[in-house]
Structure 1
Amino acid sequence: MANANKLSGIVNKINRLPDFARSRALTLFFGKVVPFTGTTGIRIESLDQERCVISLANKRRVQNHIGGVHAVASLVLAESATGFLVGLNVPDDKVPVIKTASAEYTRRAKGDMTVQAHLTDEQRERMRTEEKGDVSVPVTIHDSEGKEPIEIEMVWAWTPKRR
């Protein structure tokens, strides 16, 4: 597939780096592009047009009062993973924006968190061809026990840059 935008072109180049350097390069790059993500401690494990995997170590600075990853930190993970993915697929003449973020906390999270987000071919095609629209981006969060302590829905929209 041709690059959807400049961002995907840069990520495609980073993805050609050796395995040992790829995650660090993606994490540093997005820390510059989206300054807030550079302060969160998230690590981009893998990213391409179809799928994003990011993680967050359960360190003191992201913990809640019971020693788990803070609820808002888990939302930041989901928003980041889905946002990076949408950002790679929305053409340069459109702007992606988060429309809805909802979370249901179903159990206590244990340890580090890993988030996976993905887009279907149909969703990616809509982003490329429709002037504006929105999609619910499938996302799952797993803790260090492999359980899903949070059910999350992230709806992203895109609109033309200039109206």
Structure 2
Amino acid sequence: MRNHIGQVHAATMALLAESATGFVVGLNLPSNKLPLIKSMNLKYVRRSVGSMKALAWVSDEQIEQMQTLERGDIMVPVTVTDQSNEEPIVCEMNWAWIEKQKS
């Protein structure tokens, strides 16, 4: 998705960051827990150039929390870079989890 100046749209960059962080959280949560995005902290710092990629990660301590606590939340850092390997957006996502409702 491109904006009116031909760059990757700001909302698309946010979605890329949210998707990457959600994926890494989801991979580390037990199957009986549900991931929920609580907040996004986004700062657009420059125009993007070409294609984009995102890299998100969680620490061993955060993985331990997700595995053992019934509910909680963590800040998940993510690096979003464009084709020039620069960061047009600086962001982090706050992800929570709760136990799934039993049916």
TM range (shorter): over 0.9
Give TM-score scaled by structure 1 length. Answer: 0.61
Structure that is richer in helix per residue: 1
Match of 1:161 among 89, 100, 103: 100
Match of 2:31 among 84, 92, 103: 92
Residue ranges of structure 2 left out of the alignment (5+ in a row): none
Structure that is richer in strand per residue: 2
Identity rate, percent: 52
Alignment length, in residue pairs?
102
2:15 maps to amino acid: V
Structure of greater relative contact order (alpha carbons < 8 Å, 6+ residues apart): 2
Structure 1 CA distance, aligned partners of 2:28 and 2:93? 16
Structure 1 CA distance, aligned partners of 2:44 and 2:17? 13
State the partner residue of 2:18. 79
Give TM-score scaled by structure 2 length. Answer: 0.95
State the partner residue of 2:64. 125
Residue ranges of structure 1 left out of the alignment (5+ in a row): 1-61
SS in 1 for 2:73: strand
Match of 2:89 among 150, 157, 162: 150
Structure 1 CA distance, aligned partners of 2:83 and 2:31? 37
Structure 1 CA distance, aligned partners of 2:10 and 2:42? 9
